[in-house]
Amino acid sequence: MSTDTTPDTDTGTSTESKCGASTDTADADASTSKCGASTTETTDASTESKCGASKSTDSSSSSKCGASSSDEEEVGSTVDDFDADPGRLVAVGLGPGQPEGMTQRAQAALGEVDHIVGYTTYIDLIPDDITEGADEIYSTPMCGEVSRTEEAIDRALAGHDVGIVGSGDPNVYALAGLALEILESKGATASMVDFEVVPGVPAAQSCAARLGAPLVNDTVSVSLSDHLTPMPEIESRLHAVAGEGFTIAIYNPWSRKRRENFEKCCEILLNHRDPETPVGIVHGAGREDEATEIVDLGDLEELGETDLIDMTTTILVGTEDTYVWDDRMVTPRGYESKYDY
Ligand SMILES: C[S@@+](CC[C@H](N)C(=O)[O-])C[C@H]1O[C@@H](n2cnc3c(N)ncnc32)[C@H](O)[C@@H]1O
């Protein structure tokens, strides 16, 4: 996930989350936002709770924005806390970053919802005419994904049509699964909120497109984030996929806290692959700061300390058949063994 540290750029009325099913006392004067979460009302500001959630004064049931660690996040309200007829919940993949990279279906889905929920970085990727058409935008700069997803669910259970957005595709290291898990834990069902996933172009594919044709054969994705998966498990997965000769898409490759994970990853890859194996690195595909390089695997580790590799970078590691031709990475599909050309 993006390590977004940008301040909230929303310019509308910012108040506490109103739809966490914890309170109906939010008012426009209460501009304190939990961990920087911001609700922007894009229509007339009303000081009433928007969600119609029933009141609960138990603070443990509030929809929290995981202030210090998402490990502490808990799901609060249950389906019984809501009186309204539920609205819809749509998990929408935004693709890599620029509006042209969004599918028409994603744009249409967001055009139909009342509330849009997401990281500030992702909200900023949505075309203005879509965000301006929504009643509310709920954005969180650094908050936990559990509280943000719960916020979206609570708003849907309270009767609103809600889109929860993320980069790429909702099924790739993203919130589609979490949304279903939280719905279940609340005693709700997916059908109750007419839950739908609208796919987006995943980073691996956007990045592959910038590099030529590196993923044309069997590919496996590995995330180096040890936030949810312990590093020994990630290492053993890396050994397995590198040893089996898949093309590998490495997500979440580097952050200051994960420097050692990246170094370990390079070491494992070099255990299984030739140092001259082509590796494609794409930073910020489809974004203003996009940068692309194709290097030898043996030179990958030293690039960890450069701006090229961070948490908006995806790294595509070729197979023993991958080669570089005219600045493009090519992983043969196998046609050449069957056809003459
Ligand atoms: C939590 S994952 C989300 C993946 C996303 N759901 C997808 O389908 O691409 C975040 C990681 O995706 C990759 N990523 C997301 N956007 C990217 C972009 N525009 N360019 C390169 N990599 C990107 C990075 O590896 C980043 O650390």
- For the stretch 45-93, pLDDT in tens is 332 333 433 323 333 333 443 333 344 556 689 999 999 999 999 999 9
pLDDT value for 55: 28
**Please, what is the average pLDDT of the chain?**
83
pLDDT value for 58: 33
CATH 3.30.950.10, the chain: domain bounds? 203-330
Please tell me if the CB atom of residue 251 comes closer than 6 angstroms to any atom of ligand 1.
yes
Please tell me if the CB atom of residue 286 comes closer than 6 angstroms to any atom of ligand 1.
yes
Please tell me if the CB atom of residue 96 comes closer than 6 angstroms to any atom of ligand 1.
yes
pLDDT at 111 over 80: yes
Residue with tokens 């203003």: 288
- Pocket test of ligand 1: the residue of 98, 251, 288, 293 to mutate, having most ligand atoms within 8 Å of its CB, is 251
pLDDT at 118 over 90: yes
**Worst-scoring range by mean pLDDT, 67-81, 207-221, 295-309?**
67-81
From ligand 1's centre to the CA of 167, what distance in Å? 6
From ligand 1's centre to the CA of 288, what distance in Å? 15
pLDDT value for 76: 82
pLDDT value for 36: 61
pLDDT at 314 over 90: yes
pTM: 0.84
pLDDT value for 142: 65
Nearest CA to ligand 1 atom 25: 251
Model confidence over 229-268: pLDDT tens digits?
999 999 999 999 999 999 999 999 999 988 999 999 999 9
pLDDT value for 39: 77
From ligand 1's centre to the CA of 283, what distance in Å? 9
CATH fold group of domain 203-330: 3.30.950
Banded model confidence at residue 9, pLDDT cuts 50, 70, 90: very low
Nearest CA to ligand 1 atom 2: 1
pLDDT value for 102: 96
pLDDT value for 74: 67
**Worst-scoring range by mean pLDDT, 70-84, 143-157, 194-208, 233-247?**
70-84
Atom number, ligand 1, closest to the C-alpha of residue 96: 19
Please tell me if the CB atom of residue 97 comes closer than 6 angstroms to any atom of ligand 1.
yes
Atom number, ligand 1, closest to the C-alpha of residue 204: 9
Q: What is the mean pLDDT of residues 284-290?
A: 94
From ligand 1's centre to the CA of 313, what distance in Å? 7
Atom number, ligand 1, closest to the C-alpha of residue 201: 8
- pLDDT > 70: what percent of the chain? 79
pLDDT at 143 over 80: no
Task: Find out if CATH 3.40.50.450 is the number for domain 34-198.
Answer: no
CATH 3.40.1010.10, the chain: domain bounds? 34-198
Please tell me if the CB atom of residue 268 comes closer than 6 angstroms to any atom of ligand 1.
no
Model confidence over 319-341: pLDDT tens digits?
999 999 999 999 999 999 999 99
pLDDT value for 141: 75
pLDDT at 158 over 90: yes
pLDDT value for 98: 85
- pLDDT > 90: what percent of the chain? 73
Please tell me if the CB atom of residue 314 comes closer than 6 angstroms to any atom of ligand 1.
yes
